Structure 1
Amino acid sequence: MSSDDRILHRQAALVAGRPAPHIPPRRQPAHRIADDAEAIATAEALARDFAGGAVARDRERRLPLAEIERFSQSGLWAITVPKAYGGAGVSAATLAEVTAIISAADSSIGQIPQNHFYMVEALRLAGTEEQKRHYFSRILDGDRLGNAFTEIGTKTPVDYKTRFAERDGKLLLNGQKFYATGSLFAHIIVAVAKNEAGRVHIVFIDRATPGVDLVDDWSSFGQRSTGSGTVTFDDVEISPFQVVDHEVVFEQPTPMGPLAQIIHAAVQVGIARGAWKETLSYVRAHARPFFELEIEHGYEDPHSIHAVGDVSVRVHAANALLARAGQRLDAAIAAPDAKSVAEASIAVAEVKAYGTEAAQLAATKLIELGGARSTLETYGLDRFWRNARTHSLHDPVRWKYHHVGNYYLNGQLPPRHGAI
């Protein structure tokens, strides 16, 4: 993209969106989570607070700036930093459960750190010791990583025009990203870019670096407050220390792909939990009985009872699949090889597929059983369906089923990339 094109896009984005919010430097180091149990307890406490403002944030497209600050300062954004570097090194099962707990309260907040955790894993697998010590220390202190992966206008979402190359003795990064979830809240933006040889790398860039431009132009009908807008890099000067080879983590069996995906799966399972919980509460409080029935309350309707039973089974099944996938992923992290990584990938694909469908069913039944009044804007109940549907588009469920079926029927190992 030429400089003139980038200027025109920024002008168009500013018309459609808003300039990125100011993210002040951290005032103090974040709390350090000690273990898995503390991570779960902290997530549950935060979720209770986050749930209260979820409807208003969604309705107003209000970025959860204060909530994200609390989230990262709680220490939860550093829970996957390995113990050898001062982190809690929690299990993948715990990471998934933390994500589901937060997502049940507000799935936009639950999704925002997905790419942060992905990059922590990239550093663990491919970073140098110096890079690990530097960036893990910053993450433990509370710095947040933001995503600058996907581009628009390319053949597929994993085609990258963003490049870095040497010019006049400087290493310069140029390109533009969309769907940049987390970048508006980030202290460090992590860009996927190709070098001059065409090999894919990830580049860690401090937010205030000259040439970095962020615009809040995310206009989707769901996941409204993820801030997944546009990031532009215009002759951004970088150093080799900021660059990590990304292709290397997929050239051999590693847990990189299933770890990325279990967080997305957990977002869907969280939405399913949240919609199911709202259904129980709303139907008990507000649903009216069908006029053909001689009953006193809507929750006595036999068809409603059956539908709630159906959704309950599916949500509980999704919970079990998420826990199972976490266990398989932990086994692959402990002893990565072709077999363990494939088993983890398939288990994660299963919960991603099933959890996505459970979330959409639960969200649909919430409105159906709630009746006409449940559609009123004041309740904001439609956010569950909109969020589940929007988030599901990261990678299609139909291909999850394909890889699962091909694995069990034909013994075909799933491909190694971040979407399986």
Structure 2
Amino acid sequence: MTVQQQHLPRPLSTGTDYQALAERFRPIFARIAAGALEREQSRSLPFEQVKWLKEAGFGAVRVPTPYGGAGASLPQLFELLIELAEADSNLPQALRGHFAFVEDRLNAQADAPQDTWFKRFVEGELVGNAWTEIGSVKIGQVGTRVSRLGEHWVVNGTKYYSTGSIFADWIDLYAQRDDNGADVIAAVRVQQPGITQSDDWDGFGQRTTGSGTSVFENVVVEPENLLDFATRFKYQTAFYQLVLLAVQTGAGRAAVRDITEEVRTRTRIFSTGNASHVSQDVQVQQVVGKASAQVYAARATTLRAATALQIAYESRFAHDEVAEREANIAAELESAQAQVVIADLVLRATSDLFNALSASATSTGKALDRHWRNARTAASHNPIIYKERIIGDWEINNTEPPYVWQIGAGSK
């Protein structure tokens, strides 16, 4: 490689024809939607549905086109995730860790080629997530350790909320090295001895995301897959948050879709109503219209925040530290602002839509409540009250928002 070639900009994922991209996946989304209610009622994990997406190249939509990916921009990725969430809101969250790891490798491309990882993504390999620990571990501590065992580096520890890992080929695992105490990401292959995965997430919503406990006992990690956490892409928290916003928006769209169909086909009316058919009742139309507008605003807000993330991604390659810092601040703030308003919009829509029907809408056979439960569960991640404070601190004091935060036991 010549000096001149070394300084050429690497291929970026700046966007493609969205309609053509979406048409590749919409038939799969329709198949996924057809079984979503049954999976909810039986709590069946979507192994087959994830396989459909893998085989169609869904996990590689952000990979640059010269490497065989679709070269989608971040707004296009999140629009796809909203469409997938409308089909089944569990699936975008199950793939959240994968797309975050892809994004990290896209950013790492600014410093070193990522051909190996891009090839894996294009071949359909997925990456799960295992970061969170529960129990007595305190803020700033990590119980999961990477150490030497003979000729190998190995990982030992237990993680909870390991969303999507049960479907994955790799796990993006947060740990600390025993030799120097450094925080690292250990990318470990799932198909090896020492990994035990459990689907023991007991939340009332998002019940088929494949979240649960993962136990690692002397799990081998190759040296090249020990990644310094300090090099992780800066807008990662904003990215993770936007996946949750896509989940909520898709759940809202699904609620509008399902309750609209209930209204359209309902024959029973109330004597206190306004028409001889529910679909012609102006007050019912108003309920559905308002919810539709709320979900429209949620989608528009998500995609606007995704544009800020795209700017942060592209700034990584521009060799302008000031502009990159400003872009990352904007990405974090816009994702937080979007979080605050979208949770309110979608939770109101998925609840108030029941005003368009009657008590029959609460039938467990219809499970219309799942849209609110799923949105409520997704909105409970990353507490909104703290994000509101962070935004206010920026507005008043120009305090830079945190890019990484932790959870753990407090002092006694």
Structure-1 residue corresponding to 2:286: 306
Distance in 2 between the 1:293 and 1:258 partners?
Answer: 45
**2:271 corresponds to 1:291:** yes
1:360 matched to 2:347? The reply is yes
- Cα 1:159–1:88 change in 2 (3 A) is farther
Distance 2:263 2:393 in 1: 41
Is residue 2:400 matched to residue 1:413? yes
Distance of 2:373 and 2:307 partners within structure 1: 30
Q: Is the 8 A contact 2:188 2:220 kept in 1?
A: no
Q: How far off its partner does 1:183 sit?
A: 0.9
2:253 aligned residue: 273
Asked if 1:396 is matched to 2:383, the reply is yes
Q: How does the TM-score come out when normalised to structure 2?
A: 0.86
Residue in 2 aligned with 1:199? Answer: 182
Tell me if the contact between 1:47 and 1:105 (Cα under 8 Å) persists in the aligned partners: yes
CA-CA distance at 1:286 after TM superposition: 2.2
Aligned to 2:120: 138
The 2-side partners of 1:269 and 1:287 are apart by 29
Unaligned 5+ segments in structure 2 are 1-14, 317-323, 407-412
Aligned counterparts of 2:357 and 2:386: Cα–Cα separation in 1: 33
CA contact (8 A) 1:92 1:259 kept: no
Q: Which residue does 2:241 correspond to in 1?
A: 261
Counterpart CA distance in 2 for 1:395 and 1:150 is 13
Match of 2:203 in 1: 220
CA distance in 2, matches of 1:325, 1:287: 42
Superposition deviation, residue 155 in structure 1 = 5.1
1:185 is aligned to 2:167: yes
My pick for the range that moved more, 285-294 or 163-172, is 285-294
- Give per-residue Cα distances to partners, 1:288-330, cap 9 Å, x unaligned: 4333235312344444333323222211111211221122221
1:264–1:294 CA distance, 2 compared to 1 (3 A) = closer
Please give the secondary structure, in 1, of the residue aligned with 2:198. strand
CA deviation string 1:199-249 (max 9, x = no partner) = 221111111211111122222221111111111101112221121112223
Preserved CA contact (<8 Å) 1:216 1:229: yes
Hey, what's the Cα distance between the residues in 2 that align with 1:89 and 1:294? 51
Distance change (3 Å), C-alpha of 1:125 and 1:245:
farther
Does the CA contact (< 8 Å) of 2:291 and 2:353 recur in 1? no
Contact 1:275 1:359 in 2 (8 A): no
Quick check: 1:375–1:382 contact (8 Å CA) kept in 2? yes
Q: Report the CA distance between 1:113 and its aligned residue.
A: 0.8
Equivalent position amino acid for 1:96 in 2: F
Distance 1:319 1:266 in 2: 8
SS in 1 for 2:219: strand
> For the residues of structure 2 that align with 1:330 and 1:114, how far apart are their CA atoms?
17
Q: Equivalent residue for 1:16?
A: none
Aligned residue for 1:147, secondary structure, equals strand
Shift of residue 346 of structure 1?
1.7
* Matched-pair contact (CA < 8 Å) for 1:127–1:244: no
Which of residues 317, 320, 327 in structure 2 aligns to 1:340? 327
Match of 1:386 in 2: 373
Give the distance between the partners of 1:154 and 1:338, measured in 2 at CA. Answer: 35
- 1:148 is displaced (CA, Å) by 1.2
Q: List per-residue Cα deviations over 1:336-372 (Å, max 9, x = no partner).
A: 4121111122222222222222221222123332211
Q: Which amino acid aligns with 1:98?
A: L
Q: Which amino acid aligns with 2:114?
A: K
Contact conserved, 1:321 with 1:347, CA < 8 A, in 2? Answer: no
- Give 3-state SS (helix, strand or coil) of 1:171's partner: strand
Change (3 A) 1:317 1:34: closer
Amino acid at match of 1:407: W
Write the deviation string for residues 154-180 of structure 1: whole angstroms up to 9, x where unpaired: 456875211111244432210011111
Deviation at residue 409 of structure 1 after TM alignment: 3.6
**Conserved in 2, the CA contact under 8 Å of 1:126 and 1:244?**
no
| Paired residue secondary structure (1:180) | coil
Contact residue 150 and residue 158 of structure 1 kept, 8 A: no
Q: Percent identity?
A: 31
* TM-score (structure 1 length as normaliser): 0.84
Q: Is the 8 A contact 2:67 2:115 kept in 1?
A: yes
Q: CA RMSD in A?
A: 2.4
**SS at the partner of 2:175?**
strand
How much does 1:96 deviate?
0.6
Matched, 1:67 2:49: yes
Separation in 2, partners of 1:403, 1:220: 27
Native 8 Å contact 1:151 1:157 kept in 2: no
Change (3 A) 1:75 1:289: same
